[in-house]
């Protein structure tokens, strides 16, 4: 309800018994939709470092300015009047880190790369010189 069924990360559950060819066709279709940037099948858990038991058959992520969702009739945005949240895609995992202590050299090197939002716990607990 907090995201109005909209977001840049969607999990798709396919009907059981779908042939491998049909699954490929669905992946191919989704991968070629305007605004879709990434589509993964069963390799999503490994590729995205997510728990496999929480994912469906396909994971779809969209561009920075695109949301994924169902038909307009499905969405009741009155329920999210206090602010719309979404399930995080690539562009929602990049957040600035600000620490009051200097980082250890290994963590400073990691920070210069591409740390993600869930990395903040490791950085805060283990990465500062304090």
Cα(96)–Cα(82) distance, integer angstroms = 24
Give the pLDDT of residue 2. Answer: 44
Question: What is the DSSP annotation of 71-101?
Answer: -GGG--GGGGTT-------GGGS------SS
For the chain, the average pLDDT equals 83
Structure tokens at 117: 């939002």
**pLDDT of 1 over the 70 cut:** no
Q: What is the DSSP letter of 7?
A: B
Question: What is the reported pLDDT for 91?
Answer: 65
Q: What is the pTM of this model?
A: 0.66
- Give the tens place of pLDDT for each residue, 52-75: 988 889 999 998 888 887 766 666
Amino acid 114: pLDDT: 78
């Amino acid at each position: 309800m907090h995201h109005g069924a909209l977001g840049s990360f969607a999990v798709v559950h396919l009907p059981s018994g779908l042939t491998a060819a049909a699954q490929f066709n669905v992946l191919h279709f989704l991968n070629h939709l305007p605004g879709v940037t990434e589509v993964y099948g069963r390799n999503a858990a490994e590729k995205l470092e997510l728990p496999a038991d929480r994912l469906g058959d396909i994971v779809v992520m969209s561009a920075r300015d695109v949301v994924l969702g169902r038909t307009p009739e499905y969405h009741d945005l009155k329920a999210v009047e206090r602010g719309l949240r979404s399930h995080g895609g690539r562009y929602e995992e990049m957040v600035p880190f600000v620490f009051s202590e200097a980082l250890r050299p290994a963590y400073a090197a990691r920070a210069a790369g591409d740390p993600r939002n869930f990395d903040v716990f490791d950085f805060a607990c283990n990465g500062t010189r304090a």
